[in-house]
Amino acid sequence: MDPPMVDIELNHEKIEEAKEEKPLLCCHLLDLEVVHEIAQVLLPGLASACVDNTTGGLFTGPALVAVDMRSEMVDYLTGRSETYVAESVVEEGGPDAETCNNPTEIIEDFVDDFVSSKRNMFSRVSSWLLSDRREDKIDDFVQEMETSGFWLLDRRQIIAKILLKNIDFKNNFHCDMKFHKAEELTGHFSQCSYRSVNCMNEGCSASFSALQREKHDSVCLFKVLPCEQNCPENLMRHEMDRHCITVCPMKLVNCPFFTVGCKSTIPKCTIEQHCTDLLHSHVMYILQGIHKEVAKEDLKHRSEQLQKVSSVTKLTNFRDLRSLTLAVKKLDAELGPIEKTVSSTARADDKEKTDLSTHALAEPENLSEISKT
């Protein structure tokens, strides 16, 4: 018996789509700043593991175990990073639980765990772990590896990229875009927020992800900025502090007559105008130093006399304490002794009477003696 004929309608469009469907192409770009930070952690970590593993050994040293230790360290970190997501979910109580948002700190914890696992019996002694000698040996070995090019930065960055992708399950530090066609992926590279860009500031050779452009620009030492003290100069950020405390015309300075009484703090470029505007006050300060016992009103009168004898313009030319003091002393000597005004004499008499009255009120039994006087 012949089998029944079944009409099967093939959906040609679906078949064609199935034939054309290919694995999605992923963008591999990451946050370069974070990659660099992680790469910087690896070399000191390797040095620590090598030093602690060989401390106390007579025939071994950090350099002798560095190759094998590096291989073990990479395998360990890769394995830990691959299981990090699952561990976080279990430990924190679910996929939405709060986790560390700093990938560098996560890798640092992995490195610390690896270093701890490689310590020999001698290096486990607490006094050694906390000693300056240990830190010095680690620093020396890091420098030795950098000098010899044992583990170059670009190779460490390759490892760092793998580690970052493994632990960044929230896609905060790498691009998770996927495309069906290579042309789409290529077009995306030129627009991706994680694409590598160079700093545009002259003299800066830094490269970073495009999304970090503003962050870098805010701290770039070669960024040209207007002077922080509002002088007309534009200068690089790394020159700003030196400029502001040395040559900036808007640098705040004390008045040249600060030591005799003028407590003004003024921009350096306004000293001349300040000395002109406050000439009378500066002359008064100097006269008070010369004639300590003379009343202020009399000194004001003498100051006016000095400015009449010598024109204001001439005195204004003396803009430092020494030269103006010499000029004032010379003119003051030419004018002769200061004549006390009636008002000052009367004020002195009033002061004497006030003193007597106060004394009398304080000691009533002396009233008779005071009246006789």
C-alpha closest to that of 274 among 265, 284, 283: 265
The DSSP string of 20-74 is H--PPEEP--B-HHHHHHHHHHHHHHHHHHHHHHHTT-SS--HHHHHHHHHHHHH
Q: Which residues contact 276 (CB under 8 A, 6 or more apart)?
A: 316
Dist. CA 202–CA 224, nearest whole Å: 9
C-alpha closest to that of 319 among 289, 287, 277: 277
* Whether the predicted pLDDT of 35 surpasses 80: yes
Question: Position of tokens 């000029």?
Answer: 327
Helix (H, G, I), strand (E, B) or coil at 240: helix
* Whether the predicted pLDDT of 279 surpasses 50: yes
Q: Are strands 25-26 and 178-179 parallel, antiparallel or unpaired?
A: antiparallel
Dist. CA 260–CA 256, nearest whole Å: 9
Which is it for the CA torsion 177, 181, 182, 183, positive or negative?
negative
Residue 112, pLDDT score: 95
* Whether the predicted pLDDT of 239 surpasses 50: yes
The pLDDT of 345-362, averaged and rounded, is: 45
User: Helices 62-82 and 103-117 meet at what angle, rounded to 10?
Assistant: 130
C-alpha closest to that of 242 among 230, 228, 261, 232: 228
The pLDDT of 254-270, averaged and rounded, is: 93
Confidence of residue 128 (pLDDT cuts 50, 70, 90): low
* Whether the predicted pLDDT of 301 surpasses 70: yes
Q: Which residues contact 39 (CB under 8 A, 6 or more apart)?
A: 153, 156, 157, 159, 160
* Whether the predicted pLDDT of 367 surpasses 90: no
Phi-psi region of 168 (alpha: psi -120 to 50; beta: other; left: phi over 0): beta
Residue 51, pLDDT score: 92
Percent of the chain with pLDDT over 70: 80
End-to-end Cα distance, the chain:
160
Say which range, 140-149, 190-199, 284-293, has the weakest mean pLDDT: 284-293
* Whether the predicted pLDDT of 38 surpasses 70: yes
The pLDDT of 60-80, averaged and rounded, is: 94
The pLDDT of 123-141, averaged and rounded, is: 81
pLDDT in tens, 1-21: 454 544 444 444 554 444 445
Residue 98, pLDDT score: 53
Q: What is the 3-state secondary structure (H, E, C) of 46-57?
A: HHHHHHHHHCCC
The pLDDT of 153-166, averaged and rounded, is: 94
The pLDDT of 317-341, averaged and rounded, is: 85
Confidence of residue 164 (pLDDT cuts 50, 70, 90): very high
Dist. CA 88–CA 167, nearest whole Å: 10
pLDDT in tens, 76-118: 999 999 999 887 766 655 555 555 689 999 999 999 999 999 9
